[in-house]
Structure 1
Amino acid sequence: MNAIDQIPTKREDLAGLAGDIERVEAIFSSWDETQRNAVEAYRRAIEDLHGEALRRLVRGLKDEPAALAAMKQAVTDEVVYAVLRRHNILKPSLSERVEAALDGVRPMLASHGGNVELVNVRPPAIEVRFVGACDGCPASALTFHAGVKKAVEEACPEITDIIQIKGMSNAADNDSVRFVSPFALGAVGGWHLVCRLDEIPQGGISAVVVGGQNVILSRQEGVVSCFQNACAHLGMELDGGSIDEGIITCPYHGFRYDLSSGECLTAPEVALQSHAVRVIGNRVEVRLSS
């Protein structure tokens, strides 16, 4: 009995059927190139035949209300759904597209010991939650807006409300070290000691010069953020602007920014340039972005 004869047959669940295919593919992978190419050509021919047959079947039935209802019921079966998705007869579900968007930012989160999970999909809204080091991290607002929110909005424009569900972490209560968002723009160079934490007014900002650049430090509910002291509109300095409940208004042309994330509330397509910031004890350190 050869290796292929030992592959179990008549499995019914998707995982088992897919596992059988993977085991057969593992056997093929040990064959020489000519044999592998022949198997690949055979596989493509079979898939093309099945795909065309399925497309003709769907086209022939979709105009019949009863048949259409039956097809909609059939695709709730995981095997039927997987095969129709394989042949691009069904479009990916909204949940799948959201997960794909989140997969795009997960490597960055993982590099900081964190992750994001999709909690709920209720169009036009979704709910997400940070886990691991990202849960409760003071830099999570920047990570959410510059990473997760942006990725989902680009991939799924029909989602207009992305809600961050808070986790159970108490990390925000730890004043000894403040973590840096992995989405702080291209941080380069080392850390600069810029001031003491108590020199930044609670609910306000402090303008300082770091490495020859003008920046503002914001302290909102214990979270310290750092941004270029330049409005994204025309580059005018922001430190003379009014602040109301964590929102700073440019004193020149009225552009408004969320000081926890740098997000522009006046023109959502722009944002303040962010810099990495951390607090160790009472020391505030900044690492400039490129």
Structure 2
Amino acid sequence: MNAVDFVPTQRETLAGFIGDIERLEALFASWDETQRGAVEAYRLAIESLQAEAFRRLVRGLKADSAALEAMKQAASDEIVYAVLRRHNILKPSLSERVEAALDSVRPMLASHGGDVELVAVRPPVIEVRFTGACDGCPASALTFHGGVKKAVEEACPEITDILQLKGAGGGGNNDSVRFVSPFALGAVDGWHLVCRLDEIPQGDVVTRTVGGENVILSRQGAIVSCFQNACAHLGMEIDAGEVENGIITCPWHGFQYDLATGECLTAPEVQLQAHMVKVTGNRVEVRLAK
């Protein structure tokens, strides 16, 4: 196809217009550098003219409250919204900024076979859910706090509460001992050798002191995890609590926690403080969360 042969599609939707643009971009990509440069200069000139026209139009409409309201209603149309966003006349919506923040961490999640889904936006609260290998992973708490939560807070300071919803819980691979959030992979310093793997009894917990901190280590099937030895309720030590089916019950006030993820089953809004765990052969190392 060449530019002369190009025939626009039936353009009644945003997808139709975008399809035409993508077809033209594919055509331009086959041109030589001089031709591509001319097309790019032409595009920038047209877009600059349009952007300035839109800015002047909006300034004029702002003087009339009724006209401004009409423009806001018109912007609910997907094509109008896309063009105004393209020229930065409208700022990105909160949902778009949250998605952009999640996009910034998705490559790291994908490297471990996982992803994160934006479930709901109800300012100042959003809800997210891990999928794939991140769903049910023992390091999901670290991934949530060190990756997802941090990215959203930096991009959207008006969001004050980020809730992690439970997924199907089937994403993890139990064929081998698993240990680490993808956001811990770059952490080369700060690891402490704490014990041998065979020193952690199946279905129970042991305590260790790591860097002056009292922690518990748990081994539930193929999952090895490490948490601060402190109930999220009042900070009392929980290592003496009963462990049954991967759940530890605080001996003081009965709060229950999932030893795979640290999630509090009694009060889902809190959880145990998780620490990074690395298992190499029979060596178990821990890196304290900051």
Q: With the length of structure 2 as denominator, give the TM-score of the two structures.
A: 0.73
What CA distance in whole angstroms lies between the structure 1 residues aligned with 2:12 and 2:102?
A: 31
Letter in 1 for 2:278: V
Task: From the superposition, tell whether residues 288 and 61 of structure 1 become closer, same or farther in structure 2 (CA, over 3 Å).
Answer: closer
Does 2:245 align with 1:244? no
Match of 1:235 in 2: none
Gaps (5+ residues) in structure 1? 228-237, 251-258, 262-271
Paired residues of 1:177 and 1:279 also in contact (CA < 8 A): no
Shift of 1:25: 1.8
Q: How does 1:117-136 map to 2 (within 5 A)?
A: 117-136=117-136
Shift of 1:8: 2.0
Paired residues of 1:106 and 1:115 also in contact (CA < 8 A): yes
Shift of 1:147: 0.7
Q: Percent identity?
A: 63
Shift of 1:219: 3.8
What is the total number of aligned residue pairs between the two structures?
Answer: 252
Task: From the superposition, tell whether residues 275 and 98 of structure 1 become closer, same or farther in structure 2 (CA, over 3 Å).
Answer: same
Does 2:37 align with 1:25? no
Letter in 2 for 1:181: S
Match of 1:198 in 2: 201
Task: From the superposition, tell whether residues 138 and 47 of structure 1 become closer, same or farther in structure 2 (CA, over 3 Å).
Answer: same
Shift of 1:63: 2.4
Could you report, residue by residue, the CA deviation over 1:238-258 in whole angstroms, capped at 9, with x for unpaired residues?
9xxx733477589xxxxxxxx
Paired residues of 1:200 and 1:206 also in contact (CA < 8 A): no
Q: Find the residue that maps to 2:182 and give its secondary structure.
A: coil
Task: From the superposition, tell whether residues 220 and 61 of structure 1 become closer, same or farther in structure 2 (CA, over 3 Å).
Answer: farther
Could you report, residue by residue, the CA deviation over 1:227-286 in whole angstroms, capped at 9, with x for unpaired residues?
8xxxxxxxxxx9xxx733477589xxxxxxxx978xxxxxxxxxx995433599xx6722
Task: From the superposition, tell whether residues 137 and 55 of structure 1 become closer, same or farther in structure 2 (CA, over 3 Å).
Answer: same
Q: Find the residue that maps to 1:131 and give its secondary structure.
A: strand
Letter in 2 for 1:244: C
Could you report, residue by residue, the CA deviation over 1:56-108 in whole angstroms, capped at 9, with x for unpaired residues?
11111122121111111111111111100110000000011011111111111
Could you report, residue by residue, the CA deviation over 1:130-167 in whole angstroms, capped at 9, with x for unpaired residues?
00000011110111111110110011000000000100
Task: From the superposition, tell whether residues 8 and 31 of structure 1 become closer, same or farther in structure 2 (CA, over 3 Å).
Answer: same
Letter in 1 for 2:201: D
What CA distance in whole angstroms lies between the structure 1 residues aligned with 2:47 and 2:172?
A: 53
Shift of 1:183: 1.7
What CA distance in whole angstroms lies between the structure 1 residues aligned with 2:173 and 2:41?
A: 60
Q: Find the residue that maps to 1:149 and give its secondary structure.
A: helix
Does 2:120 align with 1:145? no
Match of 1:159 in 2: 159
Shift of 1:214: 7.0
Shift of 1:22: 1.4
Q: Find the residue that maps to 1:53 and give its secondary structure.
A: helix
Match of 1:218 in 2: 216
Question: Does 63-72 or 180-189 show the bigger shift?
Answer: 180-189
What CA distance in whole angstroms lies between the structure 2 residues aligned with 1:39 and 1:63?
A: 37
Match of 1:113 in 2: 113
Letter in 2 for 1:122: R
Q: With the length of structure 1 as denominator, give the TM-score of the two structures.
A: 0.73
Match of 1:181 in 2: 181
Shift of 1:40: 1.2
Q: Find the residue that maps to 2:5 and give its secondary structure.
A: helix
Paired residues of 1:225 and 1:277 also in contact (CA < 8 A): no
What CA distance in whole angstroms lies between the structure 1 residues aligned with 2:136 and 2:274?
A: 23
Paired residues of 1:192 and 1:287 also in contact (CA < 8 A): yes
Gaps (5+ residues) in structure 2? 238-258, 263-272
Q: How does 1:97-112 map to 2 (within 5 A)?
A: 97-112=97-112
Task: From the superposition, tell whether residues 77 and 278 of structure 1 become closer, same or farther in structure 2 (CA, over 3 Å).
Answer: farther
Paired residues of 1:185 and 1:274 also in contact (CA < 8 A): no
Paired residues of 1:125 and 1:163 also in contact (CA < 8 A): yes
Match of 1:92 in 2: 92
Match of 1:267 in 2: none
Shift of 1:42: 1.0
Letter in 2 for 1:96: E
